[in-house]
Amino acid sequence: MAWADIDDVAAHMRVTQDARMETALEEAEDWAARKRPDLDRYTWQGPAIRKAVCIMAGLIYREGSSPQGIPGYDTDNGGFTDSTAYYRCLDLLGSRKPVAR
pLDDT greater than 90 at residue 48: yes
Would the pLDDT of 81 be above 70? no
- The residues, any chain, with a CB within 8 Å of residue 22's CB and separated by 6 or more, are 6
pLDDT band at 96 (very low <50, low <70, confident <90, very high): low
Residue 16 clears pLDDT 80, i.e. is over it: yes
How large a percentage of the chain has pLDDT more than 70? 74
pTM (predicted TM-score)? 0.77
Computed over every residue of the chain, the mean pLDDT equals: 80
pLDDT digits (tens, 9 = 90+) for 2-13: 889 999 999 998
